[in-house]
């Protein structure tokens, strides 16, 4: 099986790029952030305390994820409370273990383009191509505002940027699988690139990897 791992901070364009690359190759797109969000939503809806590791692990274990199923309500998964809870839950090693096991099983069973934070470093270290996609905080905040349908005035963007930088810091400084750049990852800064440019760069990396 072949795999492309796309890691990076929130708002760097991972989902858009990963989806387009998967489409171009006919591979399965796997959004691992959605798995953390699904556990968060399950906990919030079930009134589960976010400190109750055993209950969180149960929710994670019961998620039926084949990597293609779209969540029941994608907008709900992106809501602020779910985003915040997902970041908390992502710092729990036992939850990460359960989800990483599911992600590895997916990568073993089919060709995947998998996006997340720890895919190249931890989940699929044998991936054919590892991309670390980033962009400036300002650009990422602008993209996030558009995604959330928020106005794109300077004040809103500054507010979103602050929240995004805070979440990056939490994701990068946690003990369990912090956001890191895999040593063999290709770093792409998408601040001044459009989606097609980035997709082309990723596909070029795959050509290069498979030519070796």
Q: Of 31-39, 56-64, 142-150, 189-197, which segment contacts ligand DC by CB under 6 A?
A: 31-39
Residue 196 CB neighbour total at 10 angstroms: 10
Nearer to ligand DC by C-beta: 153 or 184?
A: 184
User: Least distance (Å) from ligand DC to the CB of residue 179?
Assistant: 7
Residue 78 is classified by DSSP as T
- Binding mask of the shown chain, residues 7 to 26, with x at each position contacting ligand DC by CB under 6 A: ---x----------------
CA-wise closest residue to 99 among 45, 30, 9: 30
29 near ligand DC, rule: CB under 6 A = no
Q: Of 86-94, 138-146, 151-159, 185-193, which segment contacts ligand DC by CB under 6 A?
A: 86-94
Q: How far apart are CA 14 and CA 170, in angstroms?
A: 19
Q: Which residues of 79-99 are buried (b: 16+ CB within 10 A; e: fewer)?
A: beebbbbbbbbbbbeebbebb
Nearer to ligand DC by C-beta: 84 or 138?
A: 84
Contacting ligand DC (CB under 6 A), which of 3, 6, 17, 32?
32
42 near ligand DC, rule: CB under 6 A = no
Degrees, nearest 5: CA angle 108-117-36: 80
Contacting ligand DC (CB under 6 A), which of 5, 36, 131, 157?
36
160 near ligand DC, rule: CB under 6 A = no
Residue 71 is classified by DSSP as P
Q: How far apart are CA 83 and CA 132, in angstroms?
A: 21
Site residues for ligand DC per CB under 6 A? 10, 32-33, 36-37, 86-87, 90, 116-119, 167, 171
């Amino acid at each position: 099986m072949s795999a492309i791992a796309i890691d990076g901070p929130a708002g760097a364009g991972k989902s858009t790029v990963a989806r387009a690359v998967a489409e171009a190759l006919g591979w399965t797109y796997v959004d691992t952030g959605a798995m953390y969000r699904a556990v968060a939503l399950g906990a919030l809806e079930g009134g589960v305390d976010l400190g109750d590791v055993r209950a969180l692990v149960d929710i994670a274990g019961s998620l039926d994820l084949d990597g293609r199923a779209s969540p029941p309500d994608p907008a709900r998964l992106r809501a602020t409370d779910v985003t915040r809870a997902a970041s908390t839950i992502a710092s729990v090693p036992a939850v990460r273990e359960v989800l990483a096991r599911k992600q590895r099983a997916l990568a073993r069973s089919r060709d995947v383009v998998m996006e997340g934070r720890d895919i190249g470093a931890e989940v699929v270290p044998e991936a054919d191509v590892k991309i670390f996609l980033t962009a400036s905080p300002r650009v990422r905040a602008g993209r996030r505002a558009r995604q959330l349908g928020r106005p794109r005035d300077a004040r809103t963007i500054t507010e979103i940027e602050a929240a995004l930088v805070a979440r990056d810091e939490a994701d990068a400084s946690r003990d369990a699988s912090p956001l890191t750049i895999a040593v063999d990852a290709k770093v792409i800064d998408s601040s001044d690139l459009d989606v097609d440019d980035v997709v082309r760069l990723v596909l070029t990396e795959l050509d290069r990897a498979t030519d070796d």
